[in-house]
């Protein structure tokens, strides 16, 4: 059975070959490569897209993700900062930056960035969930529990069964670790 992502990449490559000066075509190739977890190729395509259209925040975001997946954290941070100069309220770029800091173990920076995400989108499940994990990493149990409960509430409103289950598992672990009861409001 053929991987449909491979077909997407091949289709995008054909479009790029026919239109090498089309920034959007290079962006779509980068996206197809990223979805197929071919992060080096994705980064190259995003860079070409950005040479043709330097202010494309979607391409900058894609490049930042590719660099993060390749563990090129300094480059990911630099690209995020470049993108945020163009769009200071781009939630996904702030979130990617938080993930970079998490992966580096820079918990205070991750916490600050997740708070920025939540200032822009207070109902962001993943930001609450990751913020809970970050607070747990710095041993702030009450805030970890509070954000896990908020994540569960958001997931419940969105009928997100996976999010509800993830939240319940994390909440149980936090209650066990910090000795709180499930009825505590932390």
Question: Does residue 100 lie in a domain region?
Answer: no
What is the number of other CB atoms lying within 10 angstroms of the CB of residue 92?
Answer: 19
Same domain, 77 and 122: no
Q: Domain span at residue 66? A: 1-88
The percent of residues above 90 in pLDDT, for the chain, comes to: 91
Q: Which residues contact 43 (CB under 8 A, 6 or more apart)?
A: 30, 63, 66, 67, 70
139: left (phi over 0), alpha (psi -120 to 50) or beta: left
Handedness of CA 12, 14, 20, 21 (dihedral sign): negative
pLDDT tens digits, one per residue of 59-115: 999 999 999 999 999 999 999 999 999 999 999 999 999 999 999 999 999 999 999
Q: What is the pLDDT of residue 29?
A: 96
Tell me the pLDDT tens digit for each residue of 21-50: 999 999 999 999 999 999 999 999 999 999
Give the C-alpha separation, 50 to 28, whole Å.
Answer: 12
| Residue 83 and residue 112 in one domain | no
Spatial distance between the Cα atoms of 171 and 137, rounded to a whole number of angstroms: 14
Per-residue pLDDT tens digits for 156-174: 999 999 999 999 999 999 9
**What integer pLDDT is reported at residue 179 of this predicted model?**
85
Q: Which residues of 93-126 are buried (b: 16+ CB within 10 A; e: fewer)?
A: bbbbbbbbbbeeebbebbbebbebbbeeeeebbb
CATH of the domain at 145: 1.25.40.10
What's the pTM value of the predicted model, to 2 decimals? 0.88
For residue 129, what pLDDT is reported?
98
Our CA angle for 115, 93, 60, nearest 5°, is: 165
Q: Confirm if 63 and 78 have CB atoms less than 8 A apart.
A: no
The answer to whether residues 113 and 62 belong to one domain is: no
Domain contains 80: yes
């Amino acid at each position: 059975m053929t991987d449909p992502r491979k077909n997407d990449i091949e289709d995008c490559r054909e479009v790029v070959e026919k239109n090498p000066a089309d920034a959007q075509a290079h962006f779509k190739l980068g996206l197809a490569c990223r979805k197929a977890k071919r992060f080096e190729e994705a980064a190259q395509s995003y860079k070409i897209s950005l040479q043709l259209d330097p202010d494309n925040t979607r391409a900058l975001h894609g490049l930042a993700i590719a660099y993060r997946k390749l563990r090129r954290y300094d480059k990911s941070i630099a690209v995020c900062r470049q993108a945020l100069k163009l769009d200071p309220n781009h939630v996904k770029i702030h979130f990617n930056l938080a993930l970079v800091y998490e992966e580096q173990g820079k918990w205070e920076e991750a916490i600050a960035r997740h708070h920025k995400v939540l200032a822009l989108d207070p109902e962001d499940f993943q930001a609450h969930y990751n913020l809970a994990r970050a607070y747990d990493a710095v041993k702030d149990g009450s805030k970890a529990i509070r954000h896990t409960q908020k994540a569960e509430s958001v997931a419940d409103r969105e009928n997100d069964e996976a999010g509800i289950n993830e939240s319940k598992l994390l909440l149980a672990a936090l209650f066990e670790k910090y000795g709180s009861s499930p009825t505590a409001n932390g």
